[in-house]
């Protein structure tokens, strides 16, 4: 749904043709994956929905950080749009349990909710508080979220060969930090070494 909405928005704004084509390709790939899953052999299969599960505890939740992130931003360091199958499957289960339990069906445990990418914080919040993000300026959409909480900066860095500098855009820092932390603490119980 996020990809379809982003694609419609890009077309309405006469977005970059490369980005539109990339999003159309992603949409087609996801549709193919869904069709493949739906057409696979189903004999003696027990589905997640049939198990009666109403609470999911996920230890080492950082292992599921590679959730697809639709974005119009291109060539920005620190933004990853890679997706893993297990992250996608966990997200579907989280959304199902959110609907079933009113947003109280999933508990994550991790020592490293953030490690490399600015998308990781957004991903954790999408897993645990998707409906809240959606109801606040469509912040389940990464572009809306990063425009509220991230600052892009262009910097020069030494090229890998070490013989020249090249310009690089990156999310250099967070903005509106009190609001961001307030939103994060709605789903996070942060413990530091001093509090343990």
What's the burial of 40, exposed, middle or buried (CB within 10 Å: 0-12/13-18/19+)?
exposed
**pLDDT for position 106:** 96
Q: Which domain holds residue 65?
A: 51-141+177-189
Residues 62 and 80 in one domain: yes
Residues 91 and 185 in one domain: yes
> Tens digit of pLDDT per residue, the chain (196 long)?
665 666 566 666 665 665 667 777 777 877 777 777 667 666 677 888 889 999 999 999 999 999 988 888 878 887 877 788 899 899 999 999 999 999 999 999 998 888 877 888 999 999 999 999 999 999 999 999 999 999 888 888 888 888 888 888 888 888 999 999 999 999 999 888 888 8
Residues 101 and 183 in one domain: yes
**pLDDT for position 116:** 75
Alpha-helical segments (H) within 40-118 = 85-101
Residues 132 and 61 in one domain: yes
How do 165-174 and 150-158 pair as beta strands?
antiparallel
Residues 82 and 104 in one domain: yes
Residues 18 and 93 in one domain: no
Report yes or no on 153 lying in a domain.
no
Report yes or no on 17 lying in a domain.
yes
Residues 19 and 72 in one domain: no
Strand, coil or helix: what is 157?
Answer: strand
Which position has the token pair 């060969």? 161
Residues 36 and 61 in one domain: no
Structural domains in the chain (count):
2
Residues 35 and 66 in one domain: no
Distance CA 156, CA 153 (A): 10
Distance CA 147, CA 116 (A): 19
Query: Per the confidence metrics, is the pTM higher than 0.75?
Result: yes
Residues 95 and 181 in one domain: yes
**pLDDT for position 156:** 86
């Amino acid at each position: 749904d996020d990809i379809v909405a982003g694609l419609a928005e890009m077309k309405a704004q006469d977005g970059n043709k490369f980005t539109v084509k990339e999003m159309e390709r992603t949409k087609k790939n996801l549709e193919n994956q869904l069709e493949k899953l739906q057409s696979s052999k189903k004999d003696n299969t027990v589905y997640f929905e049939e198990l009666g599960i109403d609470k999911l505890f996920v230890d080492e939740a950082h292992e599921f950080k590679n959730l697809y992130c639709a974005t119009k931003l291109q060539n920005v360091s620190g933004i990853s749009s890679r997706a893993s199958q297990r992250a996608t499957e966990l997200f579907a289960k989280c959304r199902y349990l959110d609907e079933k339990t009113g947003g109280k069906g999933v508990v994550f445990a991790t020592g490293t909710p953030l490690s490399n990418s600015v998308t990781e914080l957004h991903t954790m919040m999408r897993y645990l508080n998707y409906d809240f993000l959606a109801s606040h300026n469509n912040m389940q959409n990464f572009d809306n979220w990063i425009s509220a909480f991230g600052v892009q900066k262009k910097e020069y860095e030494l090229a890998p060969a070490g013989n020249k500098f090249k310009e690089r855009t990156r999310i250099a820092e967070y903005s509106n930090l009190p609001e961001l932390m307030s939103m994060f603490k709605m789903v996070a119980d942060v413990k530091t070494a001093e509090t343990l």
